Structure 1
Protein backbone atom coordinates (compact mmCIF):
# COMPACT_ATOMS: atom_id res chain seq x y z
CA UNK A 1 0.00 0.00 0.00
CA UNK A 2 1.34 3.43 -0.89
CA UNK A 3 2.11 5.77 1.99
CA UNK A 4 0.35 9.17 2.07
CA UNK A 5 2.24 11.95 0.32
CA UNK A 6 2.70 14.18 3.34
CA UNK A 7 4.89 17.29 3.16
CA UNK A 8 8.62 16.49 3.52
CA UNK A 9 8.88 18.40 6.78
CA UNK A 10 5.77 18.76 8.90
CA UNK A 11 5.99 21.60 11.42
CA UNK A 12 4.47 21.27 14.90
CA UNK A 13 3.92 23.24 18.11
CA UNK A 14 3.81 21.32 21.40
CA UNK A 15 1.98 22.70 24.45
CA UNK A 16 2.00 21.21 27.95
CA UNK A 17 2.46 22.96 31.29
CA UNK A 18 4.61 20.06 32.58
CA UNK A 19 8.18 20.29 31.31
CA UNK A 20 8.87 16.58 31.80
CA UNK A 21 5.79 15.67 29.75
CA UNK A 22 6.93 17.96 26.94
CA UNK A 23 10.36 16.39 26.97
CA UNK A 24 8.93 12.87 27.01
CA UNK A 25 6.56 13.54 24.11
CA UNK A 26 9.29 15.27 22.11
CA UNK A 27 11.55 12.25 22.63
CA UNK A 28 8.85 9.78 21.59
CA UNK A 29 7.99 11.84 18.52
CA UNK A 30 11.64 11.90 17.49
CA UNK A 31 11.58 8.10 17.53
CA UNK A 32 8.38 7.57 15.56
CA UNK A 33 8.45 10.65 13.30
CA UNK A 34 12.08 11.72 12.66
CA UNK A 35 11.05 14.19 9.94
CA UNK A 36 8.75 16.15 12.26
CA UNK A 37 9.97 19.65 13.12
CA UNK A 38 8.82 20.82 16.56
CA UNK A 39 9.27 24.52 15.90
CA UNK A 40 8.15 25.76 19.33
CA UNK A 41 6.98 24.64 22.78
CA UNK A 42 4.41 26.35 24.98
CA UNK A 43 3.89 26.17 28.75
CA UNK A 44 0.23 27.25 28.65
CA UNK A 45 -2.71 27.76 26.33
CA UNK A 46 -2.21 31.48 25.71
CA UNK A 47 1.38 30.88 24.71
CA UNK A 48 0.27 28.05 22.42
CA UNK A 49 -2.14 30.32 20.52
CA UNK A 50 0.54 32.98 20.07
CA UNK A 51 3.12 30.45 18.89
CA UNK A 52 0.67 28.99 16.37
CA UNK A 53 -0.07 32.50 15.10
CA UNK A 54 3.67 33.21 14.83
CA UNK A 55 4.96 29.92 13.36
CA UNK A 56 1.88 28.77 11.35
CA UNK A 57 2.50 25.05 11.93
CA UNK A 58 0.79 22.09 10.29
CA UNK A 59 0.10 20.38 13.60
CA UNK A 60 -0.32 21.31 17.26
CA UNK A 61 -0.21 19.06 20.32
CA UNK A 62 -2.31 20.54 23.16
CA UNK A 63 -2.50 19.33 26.73
CA UNK A 64 -6.19 19.32 27.65
CA UNK A 65 -5.60 20.70 31.15
CA UNK A 66 -3.38 23.79 31.33
CA UNK A 67 -3.61 26.79 33.67
CA UNK A 68 -5.06 30.08 32.45
CA UNK A 69 -6.31 28.79 29.11
CA UNK A 70 -7.08 25.09 28.74
CA UNK A 71 -6.06 23.12 25.69
CA UNK A 72 -9.71 23.07 24.63
CA UNK A 73 -10.00 26.87 24.88
CA UNK A 74 -6.69 27.25 23.05
CA UNK A 75 -7.97 24.97 20.27
CA UNK A 76 -11.09 27.12 19.93
CA UNK A 77 -8.96 30.23 19.46
CA UNK A 78 -6.60 28.46 17.06
CA UNK A 79 -9.58 27.30 14.97
CA UNK A 80 -10.51 30.96 14.46
CA UNK A 81 -7.11 32.09 13.16
CA UNK A 82 -7.28 33.48 9.60
CA UNK A 83 -6.29 31.08 6.83
CA UNK A 84 -4.87 31.89 3.40
CA UNK A 85 -3.72 30.03 0.28
CA UNK A 86 -0.44 29.02 1.95
CA UNK A 87 -1.69 27.99 5.40
CA UNK A 88 -4.66 26.17 6.92
CA UNK A 89 -5.60 25.92 10.58
CA UNK A 90 -3.41 23.10 11.95
CA UNK A 91 -4.50 19.59 12.80
CA UNK A 92 -5.17 19.22 16.54
CA UNK A 93 -3.83 16.42 18.75
CA UNK A 94 -4.96 16.54 22.38
CA UNK A 95 -2.65 15.32 25.13
CA UNK A 96 -4.66 13.92 28.03
CA UNK A 97 -4.58 11.56 30.97
CA UNK A 98 -8.35 11.13 30.79
CA UNK A 99 -9.85 8.46 28.56
CA UNK A 100 -13.23 10.15 28.22
CA UNK A 101 -11.70 13.12 26.41
CA UNK A 102 -9.75 10.80 24.14
CA UNK A 103 -12.88 8.87 23.20
CA UNK A 104 -14.74 12.09 22.34
CA UNK A 105 -11.89 13.35 20.15
CA UNK A 106 -11.50 10.03 18.34
CA UNK A 107 -15.21 9.41 17.74
CA UNK A 108 -15.80 12.89 16.37
CA UNK A 109 -13.12 12.27 13.74
CA UNK A 110 -11.96 15.90 13.72
CA UNK A 111 -9.11 15.63 16.20
CA UNK A 112 -6.74 13.03 17.59
CA UNK A 113 -5.30 12.32 21.01
CA UNK A 114 -2.28 11.04 22.91
CA UNK A 115 -2.74 9.52 26.36
CA UNK A 116 -0.21 10.38 29.06
CA UNK A 117 2.37 9.01 29.30
CA UNK A 118 2.87 8.78 25.52
CA UNK A 119 3.44 5.15 24.57
CA UNK A 120 5.36 4.44 21.39
CA UNK A 121 2.87 2.03 19.81
CA UNK A 122 -0.15 4.27 20.41
CA UNK A 123 1.79 7.31 19.19
CA UNK A 124 2.59 5.46 15.95
CA UNK A 125 -1.16 5.09 15.31
CA UNK A 126 -1.69 8.82 15.84
CA UNK A 127 1.25 9.72 13.60
CA UNK A 128 0.01 7.57 10.72
CA UNK A 129 -3.49 9.01 11.03
CA UNK A 130 -2.20 12.60 11.09
CA UNK A 131 0.08 11.97 8.10
CA UNK A 132 -2.90 10.72 6.15
CA UNK A 133 -5.05 13.71 7.11
CA UNK A 134 -2.29 16.15 6.16
CA UNK A 135 -1.81 14.43 2.81
CA UNK A 136 -5.55 14.66 2.10
CA UNK A 137 -5.56 18.36 2.99
CA UNK A 138 -2.55 18.97 0.76
CA UNK A 139 -4.31 17.26 -2.14
CA UNK A 140 -7.56 19.10 -1.42
CA UNK A 141 -9.27 15.75 -0.98
CA UNK A 142 -12.20 14.87 1.25
CA UNK A 143 -12.48 11.15 0.65
CA UNK A 144 -14.68 9.18 3.07
CA UNK A 145 -12.66 6.92 5.35
CA UNK A 146 -14.17 4.25 7.55
CA UNK A 147 -11.35 4.69 10.05
CA UNK A 148 -12.12 8.40 10.38
CA UNK A 149 -15.90 8.75 10.64
CA UNK A 150 -17.59 12.00 9.76
CA UNK A 151 -18.62 13.86 12.90
CA UNK A 152 -19.81 17.18 14.22
CA UNK A 153 -17.72 20.27 13.59
CA UNK A 154 -14.52 20.80 15.54
CA UNK A 155 -16.23 23.59 17.47
CA UNK A 156 -18.97 21.19 18.57
CA UNK A 157 -16.36 18.76 19.89
CA UNK A 158 -14.60 21.59 21.72
CA UNK A 159 -17.86 22.67 23.33
CA UNK A 160 -18.39 19.11 24.56
CA UNK A 161 -14.87 18.82 25.92
CA UNK A 162 -15.19 22.22 27.56
CA UNK A 163 -18.35 21.01 29.29
CA UNK A 164 -16.48 17.96 30.60
CA UNK A 165 -13.71 20.17 31.95
CA UNK A 166 -16.30 22.39 33.68
CA UNK A 167 -19.15 20.02 34.58
CA UNK A 168 -20.93 22.60 36.73
CA UNK A 169 -21.18 25.15 33.93
CA UNK A 170 -24.35 24.97 31.86
CA UNK A 171 -24.23 26.39 28.34
CA UNK A 172 -26.32 29.50 27.91
CA UNK A 173 -26.68 29.83 24.14
CA UNK A 174 -28.14 32.86 22.39
CA UNK A 175 -31.87 32.68 21.78
CA UNK A 176 -32.36 36.06 20.08
CA UNK A 177 -30.26 38.27 17.82
CA UNK A 178 -30.68 42.05 18.01
CA UNK A 179 -29.94 43.23 14.46
CA UNK A 180 -30.30 46.24 12.21
CA UNK A 181 -32.85 45.88 9.41
CA UNK A 182 -32.80 49.04 7.29
CA UNK A 183 -33.18 51.88 9.78
CA UNK A 184 -34.84 49.73 12.46
CA UNK A 185 -33.62 47.41 15.20
CA UNK A 186 -35.28 44.00 15.19
CA UNK A 187 -35.16 40.99 17.50
CA UNK A 188 -34.65 37.82 15.43
CA UNK A 189 -35.13 34.32 16.93
CA UNK A 190 -31.85 32.44 16.51
CA UNK A 191 -33.66 29.34 15.23
CA UNK A 192 -34.97 31.42 12.27
CA UNK A 193 -31.47 32.34 11.11
CA UNK A 194 -30.34 30.39 8.04
CA UNK A 195 -26.73 31.55 8.20
CA UNK A 196 -24.32 34.19 9.46
CA UNK A 197 -21.61 35.48 7.13
CA UNK A 198 -19.02 38.15 7.97
CA UNK A 199 -16.95 40.69 6.13
CA UNK A 200 -14.37 42.96 7.75
CA UNK A 201 -16.92 45.23 9.45
CA UNK A 202 -20.33 43.55 9.73
CA UNK A 203 -21.92 40.14 10.05
CA UNK A 204 -24.92 39.44 7.85
CA UNK A 205 -27.83 37.66 9.52
CA UNK A 206 -29.95 35.88 6.91
CA UNK A 207 -33.41 34.44 7.50
CA UNK A 208 -35.89 33.17 4.94
CA UNK A 209 -37.60 36.59 4.92
CA UNK A 210 -35.05 39.25 5.83
CA UNK A 211 -31.39 40.20 5.74
CA UNK A 212 -30.01 42.04 8.76
CA UNK A 213 -26.64 43.25 10.04
CA UNK A 214 -24.85 42.97 13.37
CA UNK A 215 -21.36 44.02 14.48
CA UNK A 216 -20.57 40.79 16.35
CA UNK A 217 -17.83 38.78 14.54
CA UNK A 218 -18.08 35.08 13.71
CA UNK A 219 -15.39 34.15 16.27
CA UNK A 220 -17.68 35.46 19.05
CA UNK A 221 -20.84 33.91 17.63
CA UNK A 222 -19.15 30.49 17.53
CA UNK A 223 -18.94 30.51 21.32
CA UNK A 224 -22.44 31.91 21.84
CA UNK A 225 -24.48 29.68 19.52
CA UNK A 226 -25.50 26.04 20.03
CA UNK A 227 -22.86 24.07 18.04
CA UNK A 228 -25.33 21.27 17.34
CA UNK A 229 -27.50 23.79 15.46
CA UNK A 230 -24.93 26.11 13.85
CA UNK A 231 -21.99 24.59 11.99
CA UNK A 232 -18.95 26.59 11.04
CA UNK A 233 -18.12 25.86 7.39
CA UNK A 234 -15.69 28.74 6.80
CA UNK A 235 -13.85 31.15 9.07
CA UNK A 236 -16.43 33.77 8.05
CA UNK A 237 -19.55 31.57 7.84
CA UNK A 238 -21.90 29.74 10.22
CA UNK A 239 -24.85 27.82 8.77
CA UNK A 240 -27.96 26.47 10.45
CA UNK A 241 -27.63 22.69 10.03
CA UNK A 242 -31.41 22.37 9.69
CA UNK A 243 -31.35 24.78 6.75
CA UNK A 244 -28.81 22.83 4.66
CA UNK A 245 -30.44 21.78 1.41
CA UNK A 246 -27.56 19.90 -0.19
CA UNK A 247 -23.87 19.95 -1.08
CA UNK A 248 -22.51 20.56 -4.58
CA UNK A 249 -19.15 21.43 -6.14
CA UNK A 250 -18.44 24.48 -8.28
CA UNK A 251 -16.23 24.57 -11.39
CA UNK A 252 -13.14 24.97 -9.16
CA UNK A 253 -13.99 21.84 -7.17
CA UNK A 254 -14.98 23.71 -4.01
CA UNK A 255 -17.79 22.32 -1.86
CA UNK A 256 -20.81 24.64 -1.80
CA UNK A 257 -23.71 24.43 0.67
CA UNK A 258 -27.22 25.00 -0.62
CA UNK A 259 -29.62 26.71 1.79
CA UNK A 260 -33.37 26.12 1.97
CA UNK A 261 -35.54 29.00 0.73
CA UNK A 262 -32.57 30.72 -0.97
CA UNK A 263 -30.69 30.32 -4.24
CA UNK A 264 -27.44 31.49 -2.64
CA UNK A 265 -24.61 28.99 -2.15
CA UNK A 266 -22.13 29.11 0.75
CA UNK A 267 -18.50 28.09 0.28
CA UNK A 268 -17.01 25.38 2.52
CA UNK A 269 -13.32 26.02 3.24
CA UNK A 270 -10.88 23.11 3.15
CA UNK A 271 -10.65 22.99 6.95
CA UNK A 272 -14.34 22.04 7.18
CA UNK A 273 -14.81 19.62 4.26
CA UNK A 274 -14.77 16.73 6.75
CA UNK A 275 -18.29 17.76 7.82
CA UNK A 276 -19.69 16.48 4.55
CA UNK A 277 -17.79 13.25 3.96
CA UNK A 278 -19.83 10.85 1.90
CA UNK A 279 -22.29 13.55 0.79
Structure 2
Protein backbone atom coordinates (compact mmCIF):
# COMPACT_ATOMS: atom_id res chain seq x y z
CA UNK A 1 0.00 0.00 0.00
CA UNK A 2 1.07 3.61 -0.54
CA UNK A 3 2.02 5.60 2.56
CA UNK A 4 4.29 8.47 3.57
CA UNK A 5 6.93 8.71 6.28
CA UNK A 6 9.27 11.23 7.89
CA UNK A 7 12.57 10.36 9.56
CA UNK A 8 14.02 12.52 12.36
CA UNK A 9 17.57 11.68 13.44
CA UNK A 10 20.54 13.93 14.13
CA UNK A 11 22.99 11.24 12.94
CA UNK A 12 23.21 11.20 9.17
CA UNK A 13 24.50 7.65 8.70
CA UNK A 14 21.84 5.88 10.82
CA UNK A 15 19.15 8.03 9.18
CA UNK A 16 20.39 7.07 5.72
CA UNK A 17 20.56 3.39 6.67
CA UNK A 18 17.01 3.48 8.04
CA UNK A 19 15.77 5.13 4.83
CA UNK A 20 17.55 2.51 2.73
CA UNK A 21 16.12 -0.40 4.73
CA UNK A 22 12.63 1.09 4.63
CA UNK A 23 12.75 1.38 0.84
CA UNK A 24 13.81 -2.26 0.64
CA UNK A 25 11.16 -3.76 2.93
CA UNK A 26 8.32 -1.34 2.10
CA UNK A 27 8.54 -0.24 -1.56
CA UNK A 28 5.21 1.58 -1.31
CA UNK A 29 6.48 3.90 1.43
CA UNK A 30 7.43 7.41 0.31
CA UNK A 31 9.93 9.13 2.61
CA UNK A 32 8.81 12.75 2.35
CA UNK A 33 11.61 14.27 4.45
CA UNK A 34 14.55 13.54 6.73
CA UNK A 35 15.33 16.11 9.44
CA UNK A 36 18.14 16.38 11.98
CA UNK A 37 16.48 17.88 15.06
CA UNK A 38 13.26 17.92 17.01
CA UNK A 39 12.23 21.46 16.14
CA UNK A 40 12.39 20.73 12.41
CA UNK A 41 10.55 17.45 13.04
CA UNK A 42 7.60 19.23 14.66
CA UNK A 43 7.45 21.79 11.86
CA UNK A 44 7.63 19.26 9.02
CA UNK A 45 5.20 16.79 10.59
CA UNK A 46 2.61 19.55 10.87
CA UNK A 47 3.28 20.71 7.31
CA UNK A 48 3.57 17.35 5.52
CA UNK A 49 1.21 15.23 7.69
CA UNK A 50 3.03 11.92 7.05
CA UNK A 51 1.31 8.64 7.86
CA UNK A 52 4.31 7.42 9.87
CA UNK A 53 7.16 9.14 11.70
CA UNK A 54 10.41 7.53 12.81
CA UNK A 55 11.77 9.58 15.72
CA UNK A 56 15.22 9.28 17.22
CA UNK A 57 14.74 9.39 20.99
CA UNK A 58 17.82 11.53 21.65
CA UNK A 59 18.28 14.52 19.32
CA UNK A 60 18.75 18.29 19.72
CA UNK A 61 15.93 20.81 19.83
CA UNK A 62 13.31 18.42 21.14
CA UNK A 63 13.83 14.81 22.13
CA UNK A 64 11.81 12.35 20.10
CA UNK A 65 9.48 11.78 23.07
CA UNK A 66 8.86 15.53 23.28
CA UNK A 67 8.14 15.74 19.55
CA UNK A 68 5.46 13.04 19.88
CA UNK A 69 3.86 14.85 22.82
CA UNK A 70 3.86 18.22 21.03
CA UNK A 71 2.35 16.76 17.87
CA UNK A 72 -0.41 14.97 19.79
CA UNK A 73 -1.25 18.19 21.64
CA UNK A 74 -1.05 20.56 18.66
CA UNK A 75 -3.00 18.42 16.20
CA UNK A 76 -5.76 17.93 18.76
CA UNK A 77 -8.30 15.13 19.17
CA UNK A 78 -10.06 15.78 15.86
CA UNK A 79 -6.98 15.31 13.67
CA UNK A 80 -5.33 12.04 12.75
CA UNK A 81 -1.88 11.84 14.29
CA UNK A 82 0.86 9.89 12.51
CA UNK A 83 1.88 6.46 13.71
CA UNK A 84 5.04 6.94 15.75
CA UNK A 85 8.00 4.59 15.79
CA UNK A 86 10.84 5.54 18.13
CA UNK A 87 14.40 4.72 17.14
CA UNK A 88 16.95 4.39 19.94
CA UNK A 89 20.26 2.80 20.80
CA UNK A 90 18.94 1.83 24.25
CA UNK A 91 15.84 -0.19 25.14
CA UNK A 92 15.58 1.66 28.49
CA UNK A 93 13.18 4.08 26.75
CA UNK A 94 10.62 1.39 25.82
CA UNK A 95 8.15 2.01 28.67
CA UNK A 96 8.36 5.78 28.34
CA UNK A 97 7.95 5.49 24.58
CA UNK A 98 4.70 3.57 24.87
CA UNK A 99 3.40 6.13 27.37
CA UNK A 100 3.74 8.61 24.49
CA UNK A 101 1.48 6.46 22.28
CA UNK A 102 4.33 4.84 20.42
CA UNK A 103 3.19 2.38 17.81
CA UNK A 104 6.52 0.60 18.09
CA UNK A 105 10.20 1.17 18.70
CA UNK A 106 13.32 -0.24 17.04
CA UNK A 107 16.87 -0.41 18.28
CA UNK A 108 20.02 0.89 16.61
CA UNK A 109 21.74 -0.56 14.71
CA UNK A 110 18.63 -1.40 12.72
CA UNK A 111 18.00 -5.13 12.33
CA UNK A 112 16.33 -5.92 9.02
CA UNK A 113 14.05 -8.67 10.37
CA UNK A 114 12.87 -6.47 13.23
CA UNK A 115 12.16 -3.56 10.90
CA UNK A 116 10.23 -5.84 8.53
CA UNK A 117 7.94 -6.88 11.41
CA UNK A 118 7.39 -3.25 12.35
CA UNK A 119 6.56 -2.33 8.75
CA UNK A 120 4.11 -5.23 8.46
CA UNK A 121 2.30 -4.02 11.59
CA UNK A 122 2.30 -0.44 10.30
CA UNK A 123 0.76 -1.51 6.99
CA UNK A 124 -1.94 -3.49 8.79
CA UNK A 125 -2.79 -0.55 11.05
CA UNK A 126 -2.97 1.87 8.12
CA UNK A 127 -5.25 -0.55 6.25
CA UNK A 128 -7.52 -0.73 9.32
CA UNK A 129 -7.63 3.06 9.51
CA UNK A 130 -8.49 3.24 5.82
CA UNK A 131 -11.31 0.72 6.28
CA UNK A 132 -12.65 2.77 9.19
CA UNK A 133 -12.47 6.03 7.22
CA UNK A 134 -14.32 4.44 4.30
CA UNK A 135 -16.94 2.98 6.61
CA UNK A 136 -17.53 6.31 8.32
CA UNK A 137 -17.94 8.05 4.96
CA UNK A 138 -20.56 5.49 3.93
CA UNK A 139 -22.59 5.78 7.12
CA UNK A 140 -25.99 7.35 6.55
CA UNK A 141 -26.70 9.34 9.74
CA UNK A 142 -30.43 8.92 9.09
CA UNK A 143 -29.98 5.15 9.37
CA UNK A 144 -27.69 4.53 12.37
CA UNK A 145 -26.35 1.04 12.89
CA UNK A 146 -28.01 -0.87 15.74
CA UNK A 147 -25.94 -0.69 18.92
CA UNK A 148 -24.37 -3.89 20.19
CA UNK A 149 -26.03 -5.43 23.22
CA UNK A 150 -23.74 -8.47 23.39
CA UNK A 151 -20.43 -9.78 22.08
CA UNK A 152 -20.36 -13.31 20.66
CA UNK A 153 -16.93 -14.77 21.40
CA UNK A 154 -16.10 -18.25 20.09
CA UNK A 155 -13.82 -20.55 22.05
CA UNK A 156 -13.49 -23.90 20.36
CA UNK A 157 -17.00 -25.28 19.93
CA UNK A 158 -18.46 -22.88 22.52
CA UNK A 159 -19.78 -19.39 21.80
CA UNK A 160 -19.75 -17.12 24.84
CA UNK A 161 -22.51 -14.49 24.91
CA UNK A 162 -20.91 -11.51 26.66
CA UNK A 163 -23.34 -8.71 27.61
CA UNK A 164 -21.97 -5.37 26.41
CA UNK A 165 -22.46 -3.90 29.90
CA UNK A 166 -19.93 -6.45 31.25
CA UNK A 167 -17.14 -5.24 28.96
CA UNK A 168 -14.48 -3.09 30.65
CA UNK A 169 -12.43 -2.40 27.55
CA UNK A 170 -11.59 -3.48 24.01
CA UNK A 171 -7.96 -3.69 22.89
CA UNK A 172 -6.72 -4.35 19.37
CA UNK A 173 -4.36 -7.30 19.04
CA UNK A 174 -3.27 -7.75 15.40
CA UNK A 175 -6.30 -9.20 13.57
CA UNK A 176 -8.17 -9.83 16.82
CA UNK A 177 -9.71 -7.77 19.61
CA UNK A 178 -9.30 -8.57 23.28
CA UNK A 179 -12.64 -8.21 25.03
CA UNK A 180 -11.88 -7.74 28.72
CA UNK A 181 -14.47 -8.14 31.48
CA UNK A 182 -14.02 -8.14 35.26
CA UNK A 183 -13.94 -11.95 35.26
CA UNK A 184 -12.04 -12.97 32.12
CA UNK A 185 -11.08 -11.95 28.62
CA UNK A 186 -12.13 -13.20 25.20
CA UNK A 187 -10.66 -12.91 21.72
CA UNK A 188 -12.87 -12.07 18.77
CA UNK A 189 -11.80 -12.04 15.13
CA UNK A 190 -12.61 -8.46 14.25
CA UNK A 191 -11.14 -4.99 14.15
CA UNK A 192 -11.97 -1.89 16.14
CA UNK A 193 -13.00 -0.29 12.86
CA UNK A 194 -15.83 -2.81 12.60
CA UNK A 195 -16.94 -2.13 16.18
CA UNK A 196 -16.75 1.67 16.27
CA UNK A 197 -20.05 2.33 14.57
CA UNK A 198 -21.89 -0.02 16.91
CA UNK A 199 -20.62 1.27 20.24
CA UNK A 200 -22.32 4.11 22.11
CA UNK A 201 -19.74 6.96 22.21
CA UNK A 202 -21.26 8.18 25.48
CA UNK A 203 -20.48 4.82 27.08
CA UNK A 204 -17.24 3.81 25.38
CA UNK A 205 -14.29 6.19 25.05
CA UNK A 206 -11.24 5.76 22.85
CA UNK A 207 -8.27 6.52 25.10
CA UNK A 208 -5.44 5.63 22.74
CA UNK A 209 -4.95 4.13 19.33
CA UNK A 210 -6.32 0.60 19.57
CA UNK A 211 -7.97 0.88 23.01
CA UNK A 212 -11.59 1.68 23.83
CA UNK A 213 -12.72 1.79 27.48
CA UNK A 214 -16.13 1.73 29.16
CA UNK A 215 -16.30 5.16 30.78
CA UNK A 216 -18.23 3.87 33.79
CA UNK A 217 -15.44 1.36 34.52
CA UNK A 218 -12.81 4.10 35.02
CA UNK A 219 -12.16 4.69 38.73
CA UNK A 220 -9.27 7.17 38.55
CA UNK A 221 -7.24 8.98 35.89
CA UNK A 222 -3.81 10.00 37.15
CA UNK A 223 -1.94 12.58 35.11
CA UNK A 224 1.66 11.65 34.30
CA UNK A 225 4.64 14.01 33.81
CA UNK A 226 4.51 13.19 30.08
CA UNK A 227 0.94 14.51 29.84
CA UNK A 228 -0.59 11.05 29.47
CA UNK A 229 -2.98 9.63 32.07
CA UNK A 230 -2.78 6.31 33.90
CA UNK A 231 -6.28 4.85 34.16
CA UNK A 232 -7.37 2.55 36.97
CA UNK A 233 -10.35 0.38 36.03
CA UNK A 234 -12.80 -1.29 38.36
CA UNK A 235 -11.47 -4.67 39.50
CA UNK A 236 -8.29 -4.43 37.38
CA UNK A 237 -4.69 -4.26 38.60
CA UNK A 238 -3.31 -3.36 35.18
CA UNK A 239 -3.43 0.36 34.40
CA UNK A 240 -4.23 1.58 30.92
CA UNK A 241 -2.58 4.64 29.40
CA UNK A 242 -4.68 7.41 27.90
CA UNK A 243 -2.57 9.47 25.51
CA UNK A 244 -2.43 13.25 25.38
CA UNK A 245 -4.58 13.20 22.26
CA UNK A 246 -7.54 12.00 24.36
CA UNK A 247 -6.75 13.79 27.63
CA UNK A 248 -9.62 16.23 26.99
CA UNK A 249 -12.01 13.44 28.01
CA UNK A 250 -10.78 13.71 31.58
CA UNK A 251 -11.05 17.42 32.32
CA UNK A 252 -12.43 18.10 35.80
CA UNK A 253 -15.94 19.55 36.10
TM-score by length of 1: 0.51
Give unmatched runs, 5+ long, in structure 1.
1-7, 156-192, 195-220, 244-261, 263-279
Shift of 1:38: 0.5
Shift of 1:144: 2.7
1:138 is matched with which residue: 108, 130, 153?
130
Contact 2:72–2:81 (8 Å) recurs in 1: yes
Which of 82, 101, 106 is the matching residue for 2:75?
Answer: 82
Deviation (angstroms), 1:134: 1.3
User: Which deviations, in whole Å up to 9, do the C-alpha atoms of 1:110-142 show, x marking residues without a partner?
Assistant: 420111011111100100111111122222298
What secondary structure does 1:69 align onto? coil
Which moved further from structure 2: 95-104 or 44-53? 95-104
Residue 115 (structure 1) aligned to one of 104, 107, 122:
107
Q: Is there any run of 5+ residues in structure 2 with no aligned partner, and where?
A: 134-169, 179-205, 210-219, 232-240
Bigger shift: residues 12-21 or 130-139: 130-139
Gap change, CA 1:21 and 1:234, over 3 Å in 2: closer
Alignment-derived partner of residue 23 in structure 1: 16
Report how many residues are paired. Answer: 172
1:63-122 Cα offsets, whole Å, 9 max, x none, are 00011210000110111233698x610000000011122366469974201110111111
Aligned equivalents of 1:81, 1:235: Cα separation in 2: 12
Cα distance in 1 for partners of 2:31, 2:89 equals: 22
Partner-residue secondary structure (3-state), 1:140 = helix
CA contact (8 A) 1:62 1:94 kept: yes
Where 1:79 maps in the other structure, the secondary structure is helix
**Counterpart residue number, 1:228:** 230
Q: For 1:64, which of 57, 60, 63 is the aligned residue?
A: 57
The CA deviation string for residues 237-266 of structure 1, in whole angstroms up to 9 with x for no partner, is 2317xx9xxxxxxxxxxxxxxxxxx9xxxx
CA RMSD between the two structures: 4.1
CA distance in 2, matches of 1:224, 1:127: 26
In structure 2, C-alpha distance between the alignment counterparts of 1:130 and 1:224, rounded to whole Å: 24
By percentage of residues, which structure has more strand? 2
State the match for 2:92 in structure 1: 100
What is the rounded CA distance, in whole Å, between the counterparts of 1:82 and 1:103 in structure 2? 23
